[in-house]
Chain A
Amino acid sequence: MASATNTITVGLTIDSVVYDMSNTFTTSSATDAYIRRVNVDTTEIQILQVGATVAAGKIESIRGLVIHNLSTKNTVRIRFTETGSNQTAIFRIPPKGFHNFGNAQYSVNNTGGAFVAFVNVASIYASAEYDDATILFIAQHD
């Protein structure tokens, strides 16, 4: 079993007004912890699979995922797909930024329709938007 703690702290003061914010969440029963640093260029590559059977590059489910863009000047593009490659969400991470998720559930609609149901991410892809970048991700499964 693994314990995992993710803490975010935000510090901002504008004209003496403090907008600080923080949060910590802990996963106490993780059985798989996966940290990987990988370089990406403008050709998209699959960086992580999520599914029922443990395999190379594959984690059974996600109970905590942080994707860091280690590049200081290049933006990274991330693509989530579900099994069958149907629902797909694409977003970007700015230089030095990160995205974090407590689980692997998401849903998309390309006509602005109302939410129906979540699906589970099955594959995560990454590419650099304009020039080479480095990604570090931390994923855990419970």
Chain B
Amino acid sequence: MATLTVTNNTSLTLGSTSYAVNRSYTVECEWADKRALTVPNSEVSLLTIGTPATSGQVPNIVFFMLKCRDTTTGLRIRFIDTGNDAVDFKVDAGEHIVWHDNKLEVNTTGATFTAYVTLDTIFVNGDGATTDIEYLVCSRKIT
């Protein structure tokens, strides 16, 4: 078991007023996948979530971070329970997104929460062109 330390610092300056929010936390993990790659302008799977931990598959997610290393082209990232709930987020060039587990719920009616589904795949798609990304996913055995 290893300790993952995540730090997020946000600083804002508006006129003569400055704000700073600096926070950090730790997560225990056993497995880590880190990869830098070029994503095409078409949807491709980035990783799957399930057991066993075969090629490209992690047993669960305790922390996931993706950053767009490209300075001009962003991407779309899709978290999905195949055949069921899916959510897409837009990550612009140079930005990042984090995710903490494999749970999600969506609906198309504005309804409030009922139950989470379990994500099984993360897809990515360059936003109109190829784009360069890097991701880190950490997981651990659930006992």
Contact = CB atoms under 8 A, between A and B. Distances in A.
Interface of A: 1-14, 19, 21, 23, 25, 30, 33, 35, 44, 66, 68, 77, 79, 81, 84-103, 105-115, 118, 125, 127, 136, 138, 140
B12 A30 contact: yes
A23 B112 CA distance: 33
B125 interface: yes
Per DSSP, chain A at the interface is strand
A119 to B, nearest CB: 10
B138 A2 contact: no
Majority DSSP secondary structure for residues of B touching A = strand
B104 A35 contact: no
Contacts of B2: 12-14
B23 A108 contact: no
B88 A108 contact: yes
B106 A109 contact: yes
B21 A138 contact: yes
Contact of A94 (B80, B101, B125): B101
Given A10-B4, A115-B88, 18 more contacts: A9-B6, A9-B8, A23-B67, A35-B12, A35-B21, A79-B112, A85-B109, A88-B107, A91-B87, A106-B88, A106-B90, A107-B87, A108-B106, A108-B107, A110-B86, A114-B43, A115-B76, A138-B21
